[in-house]
Amino acid sequence: MKLDRHSSIPLYAQLRELIMERIQSGQYGPGEKIPSEMDFCKELDLSRPTVRQAISELVSDGILEIHKGKGTFIAEEVERILIPHFTALSFSFLNLNSYEDIGLRPIKLLEADKETDKLFRFPENQAHPGYWLAEWPLIFKEQVIGNCQSYIPVQIFPELGQSITVGKRMIDVKSNKYAYLPQKGSITLCSRPAKHKEASLLDIPRRSYIIACEGQLFARSGHVCEVIRVIFRPDLVCLEIN
Amino acid sequence: MKLDRHSSIPLYAQLRELIMERIQSGQYGPGEKIPSEMDFCKELDLSRPTVRQAISELVSDGILEIHKGKGTFIAEEVERILIPHFTALSFSFLNLNSYEDIGLRPIKLLEADKETDKLFRFPENQAHPGYWLAEWPLIFKEQVIGNCQSYIPVQIFPELGQSITVGKRMIDVKSNKYAYLPQKGSITLCSRPAKHKEASLLDIPRRSYIIACEGQLFARSGHVCEVIRVIFRPDLVCLEIN
C-alpha cells in the first residue's frame, strides 16, 4: 500500500490502514515497538498532526499502546480461554458425570415462575412443584470466568435436591431416568449489560457487557428436561462453535 | 418472599429481589407501571431511601424505566433478531446458492497476510497468490445488523473474482469444485470493543461492544477452503446455538 495524496480518503486514514497492513503482514509483531511519530513523518513525508491522528485512532481501537517514555507498541492480544465445542449441551447439569469438582452451590428449590415455565413449555397457570436450581461458577486459574444455572423440574426429578445434598453419586441420581436426560438443546446467545447480581458473580463493574446464553435442553421423550442460563465474562472467554 | 428485618442482607437488596420476583412471577408484566415509592413504603413499612435505592438499582440494571411525570415501568425487552441454527457454516460464502440478494460488495483480491495465512494453515513464508475477499452486510428491516467477510484462496478458486464480477451463477462458479466446498467448520466467538472500521460498518459508536466470530471452514479434502470473519451488533442480534 502506498499513500495517495490525490485520494478523497484523508491521509491520516490512509496511514492508519498502512500501519494496520504492516501489522497484519507481520512487519510489526505483537508487543513490538513501532517507529516514532517523527520517523513516520520522515519516511512518508507527512505532517506531525496527520501521524498523530492515525496513531491516536489505533490507540483508541486497542491496536497500539503508548508506554509513557518508551514509545508506541503493538498491543498484545489478550489470551482468552477457549471453551471448545460449545453447544447447547456444554453446560448441562444433568449431563455431568460428577458434580464433585465444579464448586456446586447448595441446590435450591424454586417456585414456578412464568418466564422459566415458558422455557419449559409448561401450559400457563398449570400448578407444578417448581424447579431445582443447580448453580456453579466456571473457574479457570482461580478466576471466575462464567456462571452456570441449571433449572430442573421437580416433577421429573422429585428427589434431586435431597440426593445431591446427601452426596449421592450422579450415576445413581440419574438411574432409571435415562429417558429424561438431555439429548439435544436450543439456546440463544446474546451480549448485553450485566445485571446487578451477574456483575457481582463475575466480579466485573455493573453494566459491563457479558455473553448470556439461555435455553432449553430436550430429553429423548421430547420434553424440556433442563433449562440453562449461562453467563461469561467476554474479556476472558471465547467460545468455539462448530 | 417476605422481607426479613433480622437478615444480614440489607432491606433495599431484599426489596430489589422482591420486585424481581414479582416481575418473574408475572405479577408485574412488561410495559406495566409498578407501584409508586410511597406505595412500597406503605405496603412493606419501609423508609423512602430504602425504596429509592432498590428502584434506582433496578433502573440502572435496565429492568425498570422511569418515565418522567408518569411513574416507574417495567422495561420491555428489546426484541432481538434471532439468527437460527447458528454454526460455523452459517455465513459461508461458498455455501451460498446465490449471491444476488445479499448486497455483496465488489470482490477484492488481497495479498497474503500472516494472520489469515495462519487460519488457512498455510506454511509460513510460502508464497501464494493471495485471497479473494467477499464481503456483505447482514441487513434486517433496512438496518445493518452485522457484516460478513469471507476469504477464499486464489490457489483453489483462481477465477472466483472475475466470475463474480461478470455475474456468473454460483452453481457455475462451484462446478467441478465440490471437493473444495465447506463441509464443516470451527469458529471462535467473542465479544469485544469494535474497531474503527467495524464501528462504521455497523453504524455504532467506536469502542461499542460487538460479537465477533472468526474461523475456518474445511473442505472434504481436509483443506481450509474459506476463512470467515463475521461481526454482529449485539443490541440487535441473538444467535441460536444447538
Pairing of strands A209-219, A224-232: antiparallel
| Alpha carbon distance B152, B120 (integer Å) | 9
Q: Does A185 touch chain B (CB under 8 A)?
A: yes
| Alpha carbon distance B242, B230 (integer Å) | 19
Per-residue pLDDT reduced to its tens digit, A172-187:
999 989 999 999 999 9
Strand partners, A184: A218
C-alpha cell at A125: 397457570
pLDDT reported for residue B143: 92
Mean pLDDT of A2-26: 89
Per-residue pLDDT reduced to its tens digit, B11-38:
999 999 899 888 877 788 888 999 999 9
Q: Does B82 touch chain A (CB under 8 A)?
A: yes
Residue A232: other Cβ atoms inside 10 A: 27
Phi, psi values for residue A105, rounded to 5°: -80, 165
C-alpha cell at B201: 460498518
CA distance, residue B217 to nearest chain A CA (Å): 9
CA distance, residue A192 to nearest chain B CA (Å): 7
**Chain B: residue nearest A191 by CA?**
B234
Please tell me the number of Cα atoms within 13 Å of A51 on its side-chain side. 16
Per-residue pLDDT reduced to its tens digit, A75-105:
887 789 999 999 999 999 999 999 999 999 9
| Alpha carbon distance B33, B78 (integer Å) | 17
List the single residue in A82, A88, A242 with the smallest CB-CB distance to B184.
A242
Looking at the predicted complex, does its ipTM rise above 0.90?
no
List the 187-216 stretch of A: residues with Cβ below 8 A of B.
187-193, 195-196, 206-207, 209-211, 213, 215
Sign of CA dihedral A158, A164, A168, A170: positive
- A14: part of which helix (H) or strand (E)? helix A11-25
Evaluate whether A120 touches A224 at the Cβ level (below 8 Å).
yes
> Cα–Cα–Cα angle for B10, B12, B15, nearest 5°?
115
pTM of the model: 0.82
| Alpha carbon distance A141, A189 (integer Å) | 25
Q: Which domains does chain B have, with CATH numbers?
A: 11-74 (1.10.10.10), 81-239 (3.40.1410.10)
Number of residue pairs across A and B with CB atoms under 8 Å? 126
Say yes or no for a CB contact (<8 Å) between A240 and B188: yes
